[in-house]
Amino acid sequence: MITNRSNITKITVTTARESYPIYIGRGLEALLASQIKELIQAGSKIAVVTDVTVRKALPSFFESGLGGLPVLEVPSGETSKRMVQFERVLDFLAAEGLDRGGVVVAVGGGVIGDLTGYAAASWLRGVHFIQVPTTLLSMVDSSVGGKTGINIAAGKNLVGAFHQPIAVYEDLNILKTLPSREFAAGMAEVMKYGMLADAELFEMLEATPLLSWKDERLASVVQRNCQTKADVVNADEKELSNSGGRALLNLGHTFGHAIENVAGYGQYLHGEAIAIGFVAAAKLSEHYGYISAIDTDRVISLIESHGLPSSLRSPLMIESLFSAMGKDKKVRAGSLRFVVMDAIGVAATKDDVASDVVDRIWRGLGAVD
């Protein structure tokens, strides 16, 4: 459900056990500070987790929205989504004396949201947390839906929990501090929703790429993406549906996560690896006759028009990529589950994909023996 108040849009996510708001707008510090004040008055101890880059880039936001709260800074980047930083966050929560009425605020991109959310899910077997995403990618995807987790050597997001936030604050003004490469990476998750559920969005971006936080379409695009994800999460919170459901949000991710794992976390931004995964998913869909070669070319053109890679920057070993895919959390009964497009804007899950087909797709993207 979407409601509007002045320049702030509120989307309500409703799961089987809880309901929470996503606020989208520009200049949300006062609204966030108001909730923080209410929580403190109710007796909650509050602690903030962020990364060093975000803290440095947003001094006024921390002062006006989170002034006076204890803050833990972790290193920036995907490598912080590991056990050592998870333990640091737990030690921080212990040092600040957070009890079961405590609240943790995650201020950062997907890494901070996932890391902090998992710590909140684990501390005292679960305390509340608030998401303040600071990247486009985290605004439209990772901050919504309650998936939290960390990476281990075996693969990405293999350790984690479903733990919904009590609120999400998406302040679009924050994106002015985002490097252009990070903004482009966020657009990968935006176009994902166009490919799997919103052909009109795909066509709009195809006609005129969205390349800047200043674009007047940004607010409506973020709202559109968040509502699509909220609808999917409402229907299948823990990705248990036998077909379709929340698994559709993994379009391109089985390929993309393998690229991240084999290349080494940090070599590709998440959105960059996923963009290559979209090309693989389109080629897979084309192979099985769901979409045409023209549609695949449209996907590639859309990706490239937003400054994202459509093939591997340098060769990766096929054997390593297959090994990484085999450890993906989407494996069921020993088989990989892929997401294909029935058409642009319509997606479905597919389990019976032959390994030789996947091999050819990897080679077409630049993988080698």
Q: Say whether 234 is catalytic.
A: no
User: Which DSSP state fits 368?
Assistant: B
352 CB neighbour count, 10 Å cutoff: 7
Q: Say whether 239 is catalytic.
A: yes
Angle at 143 between CA 160 and CA 226, to 5 degrees: 130
- What are the φ and ψ backbone dihedral angles of 367, each rounded to 5 degrees? -80, 155
Of 270, 283, 298, 306, which is the active-site residue?
270
Of 229, 283, 298, 306, which is the active-site residue?
229
331 CB neighbour count, 10 Å cutoff: 14
Q: Say whether 170 is catalytic.
A: no
Of 55, 192, 257, 306, which is the active-site residue?
257
Of 147, 156, 224, 298, which is the active-site residue?
147
Of 78, 170, 189, 237, which is the active-site residue?
189
Q: Say whether 128 is catalytic.
A: no
Of 156, 192, 246, 283, which is the active-site residue?
246
Of 170, 182, 237, 239, which is the active-site residue?
239
Of 151, 157, 225, 250, which is the active-site residue?
250
What torsion do the CA atoms of 20, 24, 26, 30 make, to the nearest 10 degrees?
-10
Count CA atoms closer than 13 A to 295's CA, side-chain side: 24
Q: Say whether 125 is catalytic.
A: yes
Contacts of 112 (CB under 8 A, 6+ apart): 49, 50, 51, 54, 74, 80, 106, 134
User: Which DSSP state fits 317?
Assistant: B
Q: Say whether 163 is catalytic.
A: no
Cβ pair 223, 5 in contact under 8 A: no
- What are the φ and ψ backbone dihedral angles of 166, each rounded to 5 degrees? -95, -15
| Residues annotated catalytic, as ranges | 125, 147, 189, 229, 239, 246, 250, 253, 257, 270
